[in-house]
Amino acid sequence: MLFTEPCCKVLKHCLEFGDDRAFHRASGETEPLMVRTMSSLYQARAGQERQFFDQAVIFCPFCGKQLQTPEDVARYMRGEEV
């Protein structure tokens, strides 16, 4: 099971508002739900760039509902069909 839609108003709000959201989908509408856990600056050829680190959200932190399974997220990240 991968994340399909917000389970509560608070999570929906977190996904819809703000330019620097912590909760987001990996890259589109059918990807796992992720939360940004940290970021760091590193030196690149073009100057300093920011690298983000994300973690899959398995349970909603607001209402506790299971949103996706770790196994399906891992399969998706490996490029396998879920």
- Give the whole-angstrom CA distance, residue 26 versus residue 23: 10
Q: Please write the tens of the pLDDT for every residue from 8-53.
A: 999 999 988 877 789 988 666 778 999 999 989 988 888 898 888 9
On whether the pTM is more than 0.85, the answer is: no
Q: Could you tell me where the DSSP H helices lie in 4-81?
A: 9-16, 70-77
Q: Which of 38, 62, 64 is closest to 52 using CA atoms?
A: 38
Report the pLDDT value the prediction gives residue 72, as an integer from 0 to 100. Answer: 94
Residue with tokens 């770790």: 70
- Nearest of 64, 81, 76 to residue 28 by alpha carbon: 76
* Phi, psi (deg, nearest 5) at residue 49: -130, 160
